[in-house]
Structures are given as structure tokens and as C-alpha cells.
Amino acid sequence: MGDVSFLERLHNLQDTYGYIPEKEIVSLAEEYDVPKAKIFGVISFYSMLYTEPTGKFIVRVCDSLSCYLNESDDLVRAVKDYLGIGHGETTEDKRFTLEVVECLGYCGEGPVMMINDKVYTYVSEKKALNILSNCL
Ligand code: FES
């Protein structure tokens, strides 16, 4: 189950549905003859895989040390307030899912925020709200 093709299948399901529905998890569990819990465990290990539908825009704000030293906590607070949701939650209109995450790999350019596949660096609160308001 730890091979690349299994992960590729999970990613393909994620791309197809926007998340991995339980019925697909059940079929995988039968096919690989493993408990469903094991597949849930793999999915929860990877931050890009979801078992629930997500918003159209997945907003990730880094809260690791380098970004924290550049006041990412203020950024996280501003984004939470703007969206009205907390970490791991999705707005009612299904536009945004928010995740406060570990290092995104742009530590010298923090605070860092990602929306879907696009990375934003040196993100001030004002810049974040401007970016979010343009997510249509
Ligand atoms: S600490 Fe934020 S991108 Fe690395």
C-alpha cells in the first residue's frame, strides 16, 4: 500500500472529486485487502488529500518559525476573521477552505500564503485580504 501507484491513485481520486469519497475508500480497502482505517491514515498524512469536499480555493497560511517571526500570527488571525472560519474549516458558500500549515518552503520570504497552487510571499494582512477578495 505504500507504493507510488497507490498514492497516485489517491491523487487521481482527489483530482477527480476534489476530495476522496468514502465509497472510493471502501473499494480501495477491498482491493488492497486492508482496513479502511489504514487508508484514512494515509490520506490524513498527506496535506493535499481530503476526505471531505473542500472550498473552491484552498488557502494555506504558514505558521512555522520563520514566518512566525515575521508575524504570521497576525496574518492567520486576519485571514480567519475575514473568512469567518478556523483551521480545517470551509466557508458555507464553499468558496474557501482554510489551513494553517507547516513550512511551505519560502522561509526567507515570509509570511507566506498559498491559494490552491499559487504561492504568495511577503504577505501583509492588507495584501492577504486584497488577494482573498479577488478570489472569485
Ligand atoms: S517558515 Fe513559512 S515558509 Fe518556511
Q: What is the mean pLDDT of residues 97-120?
A: 94
| pTM passes above 0.85 | no
CA angle 39, 95, 15 (to 5 degrees): 35
Residues 74 and 9 in one domain: no
Q: Residue 18's pLDDT band (boundaries 50, 70, 90)? A: confident
Q: Which helix (H) or strand (E) holds 62?
A: strand 57-62
Residues 75 and 40 in one domain: no
Residues 128 and 102 in one domain: yes
Task: Tell me the three state secondary structure of residue 49.
Answer: coil
CA angle 82, 85, 86 (to 5 degrees): 115
Question: What is the rounded distance in angstroms from the CA atom of residue 30 to the CA atom of residue 57?
Answer: 32
Asked if residue 2 has pLDDT above 60, the reply is no
Residues 65 and 120 in one domain: yes
Centre of ligand 1 from the C-alpha of residue 75, in Å? 13
Closest ligand 1 atom number to CA of residue 109: 3
Closest ligand 1 atom number to CA of residue 64: 1
Q: Residue 123's pLDDT band (boundaries 50, 70, 90)? A: very high
Give me the domain span that covers residue 113: 57-133
* 51 within domain boundaries: no
Centre of ligand 1 from the C-alpha of residue 73, in Å? 12
Any ligand 1 atom below 6 A from CB of 85: no
Residues 13 and 62 in one domain: no
Instruction: Express each pLDDT in 47-89 by its tens digit.
Output: 889 998 899 999 999 999 999 999 999 999 999 999 999 998 9
